[in-house]
Amino acid sequence: MPKKVLLLPFSVEDVSHSTTEFGFATRTTTTTKASDEKINTLVQLIYDQSIGSLKEKYAQLGIELVTPEEFFITEKQKAVYFAPRPIAEERARANRLKDATTAVPDGYKPQITSYVGFVGVNYYVERDFYLKSLNMDAFLDITVFVSSSEEAQSLSNINASFSFHNPGYFSSDKVGTYPIGYTPYTGAAVDMKLNPAWKGIFIKDEVEYINKKGKTDIKFTPVDVNPNLSVFVCSVAEKVAKMAQKQIPIKKKK
């Protein structure tokens, strides 16, 4: 099992600013720009609540979970992490997915995950080269999907993927680049969907304000993220690591 795992992206996507229409073999996503302050604050709150427990969960599995800040021992490593991925970024723009609805915590780079349309040898060559350049045992990718609109304010799903070196890659007769050959990286993924969506993502407090009639009134305003949300995040991340463990052959002691 990998000893060090880099938390590659930890991102929050605000689905209240996105609509998707499906056609025959196509998907069209229309987005409106989410408030930078709102979504950036939200992802930072969720991340700050989750990262400590995530590290503890992985430590119990014998894994050191490393954040980008801990990974940046040298300026070269920092440059590798923030290096552009033009093919993936162009695919994201083509699918109207980049930057409009997604945010990452301080110190993280927005990463491109496996959305529909991200296929082809060139994409996989670029991705595999990027992962190899980071020189880590494995990578964890977490995306939290929420709706921050006043009507919903809910959690709809959490996606986690765990990528590691394919143990059978070099011993196979199909070394190449997926989909032509086996991929040098393989992994596991967990997508926890909540249906109906969980509407308890915020802790609210009474706040006085002056209404349109000039009178003092009270409204409930979000002041923090419900800590139970981080429990969901940690549960999904732990499950995907355990799934990956089952796929990795254990070397027999001689």
SS3 string of the chain?
CCCEEEEEEEEEEEHHHEEEEEECCEEEEEECCCCHHHHHHHHHHHHHHHHHHHHHHHHHCCCEEECHHHHCCCHHHHHHHCCCCHHHHHHHHHCCCCCCCEECCCCCCCCCCCCCCCCCHHHHHHHHHHHHHHCCCEEEEEEEEEECCCCCCEEEEEEEEEEEECCCCCCCCCECCCCCCECCEEEEEEEEEEEEEECCCEEEEEEEEECCCCCEEEEEEEEEECCHHHHHHHHHHHHHHHHHHHHCCCCCCC
pLDDT in tens, 152-187: 688 999 999 998 887 666 666 655 555 555 677 778
pLDDT at residue 175, as a whole number? 58
Instruction: Using pLDDT thresholds of 50, 70 and 90, give the confidence band for residue 215.
Output: confident
Rounded CA gap, 230 and 52, in Å?
10
Greatest Cα pair distance, the chain, in angstroms, is 82
Q: By percentage, how much of the chain surpasses pLDDT 70?
A: 72
Extract the tokens encoding 125. 């060559």
Q: How many angstroms from the chain centroid is the CA of residue 22?
A: 23
- Per the model's pLDDT, the better-predicted residue between 101 and 137 turns out to be 137
Q: By percentage, how much of the chain surpasses pLDDT 90?
A: 24
pLDDT in tens, 73-83: 888 888 989 98
pLDDT at residue 34, as a whole number? 41
CA distances from 182 to 12, 163, 172, 235 (A): 31, 14, 8, 30
Residue 196 CB: number of other CB atoms within 10 A? 7
Name residue 5's beta-bridge partners: 65, 138
pLDDT at residue 27, as a whole number? 39
- Per the model's pLDDT, the better-predicted residue between 226 and 21 turns out to be 226
Name residue 155's beta-bridge partners: 146, 198
pTM: 0.78
pLDDT at 59 over 80: yes
pLDDT in tens, 90-114: 777 666 554 556 788 999 988 765 4
